[in-house]
Amino acid sequence: MDCIFCKIIKREIPSKDVYEDDFVKAFYDINPKAPVHVLIVPKKHINPAQGFTQDEVEIIGNLFLAAQKIAEKEGVFQSGFRLITNSGPDSGQEIEHLHFHLLGGKPLGGLVGN
Ligand code: 5GP
Ligand code: ZN
């Protein structure tokens, strides 16, 4: 499968890693939009634009747990952070592998950009 995030998970493409467990890998975004910009990715290839299945709920829950740990590690748990996940054309989703953007380190402003 020609998926950049699958290749990062298999270490075929380098990444600056922040966190890893059985379900999840997290690394810094190559084009950061905030002082802290981490991508949190399930190790299983799931495309949110194709919908989730019940057996993926455990994986999805673990993304949130990982996000909290990463926010603490990056020093933004107290100051606050935003999780964004894109799905489908109007969202601007570039990579067809589920991921959270964890953004923080400054006031992030309005919810939707232009
Ligand atoms: P999307 O638009 O799919 O929600 O976000 C994809 C994100 O992946 C973008 O913020 C982009 O900068 C990031 N990205 C794309 N290719 C790479 C890569 O090879 N390495 C890393 N670390 N981030 C990438
Ligand atoms: Zn993938």
Chain segment 50-95, per-residue pLDDT in tens:
999 999 999 999 999 999 999 999 999 999 999 999 999 999 999 9
Q: Which residues pair with 39 in a beta bridge?
A: 27, 101
Residue 31 lies in a domain: yes
Whether residue 1 is predicted with pLDDT greater than 90 in this model: the reply is no
21-36 average pLDDT score: 98
Residue 27 Cβ inside 6 Å of ligand 1? The answer reads yes
Residue 30 Cβ inside 6 Å of ligand 1? The answer reads yes
Kindly write down the DSSP assignment for every residue of the chain, as one continuous string: ---HHHHHHTTSS---EEEE-SSEEEEE-SS-SSSEEEEEEESS---GGG---GGGHHHHHHHHHHHHHHHHHTT-TTT-EEEE---SGGGT--SSS--EEEEESS----SS--
Q: Phi/psi zone of residue 112: left (φ > 0), alpha (ψ -120 to 50 degrees), beta?
A: beta
Whether residue 96 is predicted with pLDDT greater than 90 in this model: the reply is yes
Find the domain containing 100 and state its range: 4-104
Chain segment 31-52, per-residue pLDDT in tens:
999 999 999 999 999 999 999 9
Whether residue 114 is predicted with pLDDT greater than 90 in this model: the reply is no
pLDDT for 113: 72
CATH code at position 10: 3.30.428.10
Pocket test for ligand 1, best of 94, 96, 97, 99 (most atoms within 8 A of CB): 94
Ligand of minimum distance to the alpha carbon of 17: 1
Residue 4 Cβ inside 6 Å of ligand 1? The answer reads yes
- Rg value, the chain, Cα: 14
Q: Which residues hold their Cβ within 5 A of ligand 2, which is an ion?
A: 3, 5-6, 45, 97
Residue 113 lies in a domain: no
Residue 110 lies in a domain: no
For the chain, what is the domain count? 1
Residue 111 lies in a domain: no
The yes-or-no answer on residue 97 being catalytic is no
Residue 98 lies in a domain: yes
CA distance 14 to 101: 18
Instruction: Locate 96 and state its tokens.
Output: 């067809």
6-12 average pLDDT score: 98
pLDDT for 59: 97
CA distance 20 to 90: 30
